[in-house]
Amino acid sequence: MTYSTDKKNILITGGAGYLGSVLVPELLALGHQVTVLDNFMFNQDPLNTLCLNPNFDVYRGDCRDKKQIAPLLAKADVVIPLAALVGAPLCGRDEIGTVSTNRDAVVMLTELMSQEQQLLMPITNSGYGIGEAGKYCNEESPLRPISLYGTSKVEAEQAVLAKGNAVSFRLATVFGMSPRMRLDLLVNDFVYRAVKDSAIVLFESHFKRNFIHIRDVANAFIHGLNNFDSMKGQAYNVGLSDANLSKKELCEKIQQHLPKFVFLEAPIGEDPDKRDYIVSNAKIEATGYRPQVSLDDGIKELIKGYRMISNTKYSNV
């Protein structure tokens, strides 16, 4: 991956979250100035070790607060709005907070930003909803979100791309260890259960989705930052092209690393998450981006991580 020597002042809302706590140190290591605004709603402190860095600054606050965001935005060359209520269960518990954070706060950013300021936006490829069997979803495929989370992110993407000076990343289901860990993501959850319980019951095990490691997501943002002029104004799927897997296939992968792991397919019952699709990542790969961490490597990483983690305070559910 080619790195730019052009140093930027970068504002990241939600920068202490699962992705932000991986991305922020990477950006600082490249010499960028990074300011984080986060409400620290999960009472974790993943950015503690960065405080000595003179290029790092952090504020506790709400990304929806115009009075707080405006002065921070005025100093920024690049904005990365990571602040969001993520996942169907959390969004279902706070529908007003979901819409105001995931959509309205992003719309406010686009209205406050100048045409020179750059925006890198994380969206979810869950916006594809339920795809057609055997047919890959690409960036031209219709967006048919089936959850409030998916809908709020799709609407945010529309606002961002209408602004013009922006790149949108439609992220696959993310996995891997992070300083602000999440156990509720599918791979992270299944490996946790395999390590701790050695068993899981699957509902609608044929449902498929795409996956991507957290560090490869961070690298996608760095890639977008370094290639902004050629990528701007467009959306890009970001996932592992060899990891369009069903829940059953994912369990079979995990079982290769943990042979005592047993998974059972329930003959009745439904998964509340109805997403079912396969995704093409050819568009971003054509720009030179390549993921570096395989699903197998991520599973091995998680197994080691779960030798240390023994409770569920790291969940968004």
pLDDT at position 89 is: 81
Give the mean pLDDT of 275-279. 86
pLDDT at position 87 is: 80
Task: Classify 46 as helix, strand or coil.
Answer: coil
pLDDT at 315 over 80: no
Query: In sequence order, what are the beta bridge partners of 246?
Result: 208
Quote helix, strand, coil % in the chain, to nearest 5: 40, 20, 40
pLDDT at 3 over 60: no
Q: Output the average pLDDT for the chain.
A: 93
Structure tokens at 244: 């369009």
Burial code (b: 16+ CB inside 10 Å, e: under 16) for 252-272 equals ebbeeeeeebebeeeeeeeee
Residue with tokens 């706070």: 94
Smallest Cα–Cα separation from 277: which of 137, 140, 169?
A: 137
pLDDT at position 314 is: 64
pLDDT at position 5 is: 56
Q: 47-79: per-residue pLDDT in tens?
A: 999 999 999 999 999 999 999 999 999 999 999
130, part of any domain: yes
**252, 296 contact by CB (below 8 A):** no
pLDDT at 264 over 70: yes
pLDDT at position 106 is: 97
pLDDT at position 272 is: 60
Question: Where are the strands (E) in 152-289, listed by range?
Answer: 166-171, 173-175, 199-202, 208-213, 234-238, 244-246, 262-265, 278-279
164, part of any domain: yes
The parent domain of residue 165 ranges over 9-175+211-240+276-292
269, part of any domain: no
Q: 153-204: per-residue pLDDT in tens?
A: 999 999 999 988 999 999 999 999 999 999 999 999 999 999 999 999 998 8
Q: Higher pLDDT residue, 307 or 129? A: 307
Report in angstroms the alpha-carbon separations of 14 from 37, 116, 169, 289: 6, 22, 16, 24
pLDDT at position 312 is: 62
In the chain, the amino acid numbered 262 is V
Q: What domain count does the chain have?
A: 1
Give me the sign of the Cα torsion angle 218, 285, 275, 100.
positive
The conformational region for residue 269 under phi > 0 = left, psi -120 to 50 = alpha, else beta, is: left
110, part of any domain: yes
**Cβ count near 76 (within 10 Å):** 21
pLDDT at 2 over 80: no
Q: 78-127: per-residue pLDDT in tens?
A: 999 999 998 878 888 999 999 999 999 999 999 999 999 999 999 988 88
pLDDT at position 195 is: 96
31, part of any domain: yes
Nearest-5° angle of CA 300, CA 266, CA 201?
Answer: 30
Give the mean pLDDT of 236-255. 97
In the chain, the amino acid numbered 76 is A
pLDDT at position 273 is: 66
Task: Classify 91 as helix, strand or coil.
Answer: helix
Nearest-5° angle of CA 17, CA 216, CA 165?
Answer: 75
Smallest Cα–Cα separation from 89: which of 270, 273, 269?
A: 273
pLDDT at 4 over 60: no
Find the distance separating the first CA and the last CA of the chain, reported in whole Å: 35
pLDDT at 1 over 60: no
pLDDT at position 164 is: 87
Please report, for the domain that includes residue 138, its CATH number: 3.40.50.720
**35, 10 contact by CB (below 8 A):** yes
Instruction: Give the distance, in angstroms, between the CA of residue 278 and the centroid of all CA atoms in the same chain.
Output: 17
2, part of any domain: no
Dist CA 30 CA 24 (whole Å):
10
37, part of any domain: yes
36, part of any domain: yes
